[in-house]
Structure 1
Amino acid sequence: MKVLSEPDCVLRADAELGEGPVWRADDDAVWFVDIKGRRIHRYEPVTGAAWSWAAPAQPGFIAPVAGGGWVAGLKTGLHRFEPRGGRFELITAVEDPSLDNRLNDGFVDAKGRLWFGSMHDGETALTGALYRLDERGLQRCDTGYCITNGPAASPDGRTLYHTDTLQKTIYAFDLSPAGELSNKRVFARIEEGGGYPDGPAVDAEGCVWTGLFAGWHVRRYSPKGELLAKVGFPVANITKLAFGGDDLTSVYATTAWKGLSADEREKQPLAGGLFRFEVDVPGLPQNQMAHA
């Protein structure tokens, strides 16, 4: 795998906590959220045009739905999101509001199932969980997280990756055709000083990419968990990647200025921007939800 370009800031979104980039091929655009800024963004690479919508609560992710439309994971639950008019319609609450959790990061697998995590908004309690939504309804699949990130799946759909950010650990699960998880195990750990693993993405060779919050770079791991490559950034907090473009070799990365001091923000003027770099191994196509 070769990185064919240095990361370039293509949109100065000034996102406090940019997250969850999605490449929607039928739209030729990158969509992503600013969780703390409570906004959903859309960027058109061909024209450079950008749009933004206000969300009624912190949005952790957006997921495309087959046939059009979006599902947005907000702090208050799963909502249908209609860009035309900027409307949000509650589908279902996910957790008791007394937990003070919010939804954080989501993924649609090849069978159209939605996977997403919850996390403690204050980032102190182990109240977060991993969920699956499909035609059977909403199912809690794993618990005991403070900050969840991911998931992502292998090209053959047999392995699901999910991140415990504060534990600096990416886990792997066996994923059955029916969407059941088993055999939870450590896939990779980030060493002290390396930052915190954020959202993962998987390429066509089955390698796992992860952004590093407070780590200044992204990493690429082999399917066996071996570190293969690093890509440095001019900002500290890289949150998640998405593969886009006609051949899925343009990598888009969201970043954040959350947690930076005034001095650090001055030294990182591009923090919170959307970045792009080119690679020679494509990513996997963006899946769409079968049920919403």
Structure 2
Amino acid sequence: MHASDLSSPTWAAITTEPNGLGESPFWHPQEQRLYWVDIPGRRIARVAVQGLQALGPVEYWPLTQEPGCIAPVQGGGLVMALRDGIYLAREWGGPLLRLVAAPYDTAKLRFNDGKCDAQGRFWAGSLYEPKDQALGTLYMLDGQGLHAMLGGDKDGVVTANGLAWSPDGRTAYWADTAAHQIRAFDFDAASGQFTNVRVFYQAAPKPTGWAWGSSTPYGGRPDGAAVDSAGCYWSAQYEGGRLLRFSPKGEVLAQVPTPAFCPTMPCFGGPDLKTLFVTTARHGRSEAELAQYPGAGCVWAMRVEVAGLNSCHFKI
């Protein structure tokens, strides 16, 4: 598929049972499986995929709390950021070991978007549910414990999202969905420190009183993201019905329509990492919207020309 073809992609449904709010997809190359979470459904899901088809039924792992994000663990298992802390499971459906308690008021905040970096550290951002203050923080878990690296009451976000790194690991991206903004940073891989913050992309704000079906134009707001091997940043535009592919300089190279109005996060997978998966949302959407987008909440996939990057594993 050439860049010009991205305006009319061929999507295939990987799942038929919708999630309430699918998020945090990653490809497990050893298992040839796609993993993701359903946040309001309080469950983790996985399915083997070949080409653009699921091999067999989706497996679900019910939880007692909302999972914000997950990542594979070196040597097997999953690390997961749940509302009240970050947990380790050495096998699918197995016992959960809490590695660290959540460092916030769990009545008002929960973990949201996150993933591992190339050094094997697990990162998870928080979401401030009242959404009237930018108190969301980006945390990093390593062998020394949990560290607040960005955000909080000084330079926080309402909804932490869009975490990703450039192929060389020198640039990090982090978005605040509520602010319609993606930020870029210089990243020091050794220390995990972020410096030289700049606005990578600023979307137009949501018009006052806007709702689905409105004649007022609205392109959505940045949700989850992934970076491809060319260093381009793919951002899901929630309520925009599209993915945006940005150059490393922040130029919009392509707008990719999605089969759900609320895409939540892309990731790359398949043996050649040229299958682009995207999770989507259904929870809280209007009947009129769902009538036009019956596949809302499902996981979708399409083929792309530029491969993605391998998922990074958590190192204990």
Same fold (TM over 0.5): yes
Contact preservation (8 Å) 1:253, 1:275: yes
* Aligned with 2:263 (options 238, 244, 256): 238
Change (3 A) 1:124 1:14: farther
Alpha-carbon distance in structure 2 between the residues aligned to 1:273 and 1:83: 25
Alpha-carbon distance in structure 2 between the residues aligned to 1:85 and 1:37: 16
Residue type of the partner of 2:262? N
Aligned residue runs from structure 1 range 201-216, under 5 A = 201-216=226-241
Cross-structure match for 1:25: 29
Aligned residue runs from structure 1 range 245-256, under 5 A = 245-256=270-281
Alpha-carbon distance in structure 2 between the residues aligned to 1:135 and 1:96: 20
Alpha-carbon distance in structure 2 between the residues aligned to 1:53 and 1:85: 6
* Aligned with 1:172 (options 184, 188, 203): 184
Aligned residue runs from structure 1 range 41-56, under 5 A = 41-46=45-50, 47-56=55-64
Structure 1 stretch 232-241 or stretch 113-122: which is displaced more? 113-122
Residue type of the partner of 1:40? I
1:213-239 C-alpha deviation (Å, 9 max, x unpaired): 100010100000000001112211000
Name the count of aligned residue pairs.
Answer: 291
Residue 264 (structure 1) aligned with residue 268 (structure 2) = no
* Aligned with 2:44 (options 40, 46, 49): 40
Contact preservation (8 Å) 1:117, 1:150: no
Aligned residue runs from structure 1 range 68-107, under 5 A = 68-97=76-105, 100-107=108-115
Cross-structure match for 1:133: 141
Match of 2:261, SS state, is: coil
Alpha-carbon distance in structure 1 between the residues aligned to 2:251 and 2:278: 22
Alpha-carbon distance in structure 2 between the residues aligned to 1:253 and 1:48: 19
* Aligned with 1:158 (options 170, 173, 179): 170
Contact preservation (8 Å) 1:165, 1:197: yes
Alpha-carbon distance in structure 1 between the residues aligned to 2:68 and 2:92: 20
Alpha-carbon distance in structure 2 between the residues aligned to 1:149 and 1:105: 5
* Aligned with 1:181 (options 190, 194, 199): 194
Gaps of 5+ in 2: 206-217
Alpha-carbon distance in structure 1 between the residues aligned to 2:250 and 2:141: 28
For normalisation by structure 1, the TM-score amounts to 0.95
Alpha-carbon distance in structure 2 between the residues aligned to 1:69 and 1:85: 10
Give the CA deviation at 1:98: 5.3
Give the CA deviation at 1:94: 2.0
For normalisation by structure 2, the TM-score amounts to 0.88
Alpha-carbon distance in structure 2 between the residues aligned to 1:203 and 1:125: 33
Residue 111 (structure 1) aligned with residue 119 (structure 2) = yes
Alpha-carbon distance in structure 1 between the residues aligned to 2:95 and 2:62: 10
Alpha-carbon distance in structure 1 between the residues aligned to 2:137 and 2:107: 12
Query: Radius of gyration: which is bigger?
Result: 2
Give the CA deviation at 1:99: 5.4
Contact preservation (8 Å) 1:54, 1:86: no
Cross-structure match for 2:249: 224
Contact preservation (8 Å) 2:68, 2:83: yes
Gaps of 5+ in 1: none
Give the CA deviation at 1:124: 3.3
